[in-house]
Chain A
Amino acid sequence: MARTRTWISSALAASLLLTACGGNLGSGSDDEAADFPDGKAITVYVGQDPGGSTDLIARALAEEVKNELDVAVTVENKPGANGALAAQELAGKTADGHTLMIYNGSLAYITPLAVPEGEAPDIADYDIVTGISQDDYVLVAAADSGLKTMDDLKGLGKAVKFGTTGVGTGSQLSQELLFAQAGIESTAVPFDGGSPTLTAVLGGQVDVGSIQLGEAVEQIEAGELTPIVTFASERVSYLPDTPTAVEAGYDAPVQQSRAVFAPKGTPTEVIDTLADAFGKAFGAESYQKFNEDNQLTPNEVDGEALRQQWTENLDSYRTVTEEHQIDLGGDQ
């Protein structure tokens, strides 16, 4: 109750101030941009549940940026529709740099291929502060299945059943691309996230599955899972003996990628200040160790470069899925 009252009185004070300023509003906001963050807290939306990779990344970064800018940086989970819900919320916020979001690449360049047109948010409607990192997908089979290479899969003698972590995910896209190009007859079996997919592969319910590296690395090291190919663009340092799909002759580079988004129209100075703070956060030793522990590859490019990466991804995936008549949505 006390808090509500304070809030009302400060709102009143603010509106009085605004009235007093009159026509000077324009210059006032410029000053604000220069003073950013001016002691005011920053909220970072995460469109996924607490505990997932995106959430962990957000929290690791928030810790560093908080020290850098000397303001509170809170992570707020708004899970739903692979982050579309949080993205929608972000778009409606004031473009002052105080509300940001950790945006998933899959929402930008895979979801649009799986849902009806206009349903997925368009990255053109946001400003981008910086890229963060990439997460690689790896195609795995249970060790006791004896499947080790693409040739083993070709010689299976029946349609390959592959587990995906869900519809419209990199897991699905990577395998659809791979098997279509390899001419392997296959059926997608979607599961709800990485852990159930892993269980299904281990239990032999499906022949193979494409899982984010960080989620499978433990079982790979324990010898329970055999990595067949990765969907990375270059050999993954954590799996030096596993070829990439591209090396195996298939044009199927698919990665999860993450970036810091802001509402469209955020002043350039604010974006710069934020990018600078995130840049310093990327350099922190504890953050670099975090990346290593979670098998994340840094992708700390600036906003424009990131926009280009993701737009190119969407275009090339659209072309290649059309070429092979892959329909991520109604694919059964």
Chain B
Amino acid sequence: MDLAPVIDGFGVVLEPVNLLYCLIGVVIGMLVGVLPGLGPAATIAILLPITFEIEAVSAVIMLAGIFYGAQYGGTITSVLLRLPGEASSVVTVFDGHALARQGRAGTALGIAAIGSFVGGTVSVIALSFLAPLVASFALDFGPPEYTALALLGILLVSTISSGSRLKALIAAGLGLLLAVVGRDAFTGTERFTFGSLDLADGLDFVPIAMGLFGLGEILHNLEQRHRAIHAPTEIHDVWPSRQDLKQSSGAIGRGSVLGFFLGILPGGGAVMASLAAYAVEKRRSQHPERFGQGAVEGVAAPETANNAAATSSFIPLLTLGIPANATMAVIFGALLIQGIRPGPQLVEQNPELFWGVVNSMYIGNVLLLIMSIPLVGLFVRILRVRPAVLAPITVLITLIGAYTVNNSVFDIILVIAFGALGYLMKKAGFDPGPLVLAFVLGALLEESLRRSLLLFDGDPTGFLTRPISGVLFLALVIVAFLPAIRSLLSAREKEPVG
């Protein structure tokens, strides 16, 4: 492996500007991690237009920082307030808050920070080796392979999502439908454009993401009742004892590996990784009854895994141009705004961007480790900012931002329309994530499928005779039957665990 670009990448990160954006990113990330409701996808979507004015490398370094920073921040409220700031910290509540009630909140936060750091760092190292490898045979990824990957991503996101499977499928279906709007890329025929030139190129991803994630979440949050928050601002003994470390070292190791692999999967990501890591630890433990009563491993495993997954989910994006989850889809949008198309050529043609972003994650993780412990009290205080103050400011920033991307008033209308849709979806218990991801992957799916059929002269068996696409289609069949397999597994699992 040629190390020169990797080292140059460190040079890029260590430029003061980029260090600053890395710091800004992780601080914002921790903040939104602490604030329940506003997730990283929403924040990144709202900040998208701002990145327009920044150098591409700095922009992505900052947005990546928000993503993995949020994984740290989400822990704090889970432990202290029994209020998960992020979906990926939901399982941390069980043991984290139990520990806090025993007066060991410091230990829980300390273990979580160490686990997050280890998971994040292990994942970046693996990413550094794996990503160029994937990119090196990425030229073999033609339209048929992209067809299979897009299909796999859409299927995974709708079957493995945390909520109702039916609702996720409906949302993904809606995303696919929205993706067909615009001039047909193969014939020039207009589809659902109603004669408007604004729609000729299809709906733009950025206003959709800003509306669904940004505006939609803000509106929905306003409706929530906000109880007064009484959080301890004094946290003691954040350095875990030797025994705590010993107890959780296995969990941190397994969480790193598990998180890394679940993060790469299309449709996977931090939420899935944290759930899986918790389940694995509980199953392996000789005293599963301790889980939920303040087991240190119960905090270490999900917190390690969600950080590892947050990092590794950059692999499919940066090497194949396929976003693995909704947040990656938004970062994909950020790269497109910068005129950079993520894909197989990125590592080769834009090494300073690729390695700059990857290496910034080492720095970001160190920054987070340093900040997360002494600043806990400060972050908790932020929860006291009234949504009535925060919401109007955010809405204003969102709308101004939406206009500046394409200088288009039509985009503002789109943001408002999709904001309303996002609000209604949340209210009805639909996650907008599958919609956004299906929208991005839908265009890829349609174009790759039609391109493939042109290449195969219309013969669909071509998909199965190419080695990579053949394997991917096999994986697809497995995923399609996954719900059945899972219910079979969980039926067996219930007997010994009870």
Q: Does A pair with B?
A: yes
Q: Would A196 and B341 count as touching, CB distance under 8 A?
A: yes
Chain B positions within 8 Å of A51 at CB level: 338-340
| Mask: chain B, 384-405; 1 = CB below 8 Å from A; 0 = not | 0000000000000000000000
**A189 interface neighbour in B140, B187, B343, B451, Cβ under 8 Å:** B451
Q: Would B457 and A191 count as touching, CB distance under 8 A?
A: no
Closest 6 CB pairs of A and B: A51-B339, A205-B142, A203-B139, A81-B200, A329-B188, A85-B197
The count of chain A contact residues (Cβ–Cβ below 8 Å) is 42
B179 to chain A, nearest CB (A): 13
| Mask: chain A, 97-124; 1 = CB below 8 Å from B; 0 = not | 0000000000000000011000000000
Q: Would A328 and B451 count as touching, CB distance under 8 A?
A: no
Q: Would A88 and B197 count as touching, CB distance under 8 A?
A: yes
Which A residues are within 8 Å of any B CB, using their own CB? 49-52, 76-81, 84-85, 88, 114-115, 159, 161, 166-168, 187-193, 195-196, 198-200, 202-206, 328-332
Chain A positions within 8 Å of B407 at CB level: 76-78
Q: Would A199 and B183 count as touching, CB distance under 8 A?
A: no
Q: Would B186 and A332 count as touching, CB distance under 8 A?
A: yes
The bracket for how many chain B residues form the interface is 20 to 34
Q: Would B455 and A189 count as touching, CB distance under 8 A?
A: yes
Bound form: Cα–Cα A188–B340 in Å? 25
A192-B185, A192-B447, A203-B142 given as contacts; is B455 within 8 A of A84 (CB)?
A: no
Q: Would B455 and A80 count as touching, CB distance under 8 A?
A: no
**Complex A-B: 7 CB contacts under 8 Å:** A49-B339, A80-B200, A81-B197, A115-B188, A161-B454, A161-B455, A205-B455
Bound form: Cα–Cα A51–B141 in Å? 26
B53 to chain A, nearest CB (A): 11
Chain A residue with Cβ nearest B202? A80
B214 to chain A, nearest CB (A): 22
Chain B positions within 8 Å of A329 at CB level: 187-189
Q: Would B185 and A166 count as touching, CB distance under 8 A?
A: yes
A194 to chain B, nearest CB (A): 10
Bound form: Cα–Cα A328–B201 in Å? 18
Q: Would B188 and A199 count as touching, CB distance under 8 A?
A: no
Chain B positions within 8 Å of A203 at CB level: 139-142, 344
Chain B positions within 8 Å of A79 at CB level: 201, 406
| Mask: chain B, 164-187; 1 = CB below 8 Å from A; 0 = not | 000000000000000000011111
A50-B339, A167-B187 given as contacts; is B454 within 8 A of A189 (CB)?
A: yes
CB of B55 within 8 Å of the partner chain: no
**A332 interface neighbour in B343, B344, B454, Cβ under 8 Å:** B454
**B187 interface neighbour in A193, A206, A331, Cβ under 8 Å:** A331
A78-B407, A81-B183 given as contacts; is B339 within 8 A of A200 (CB)?
A: no
Q: Would B406 and A77 count as touching, CB distance under 8 A?
A: yes
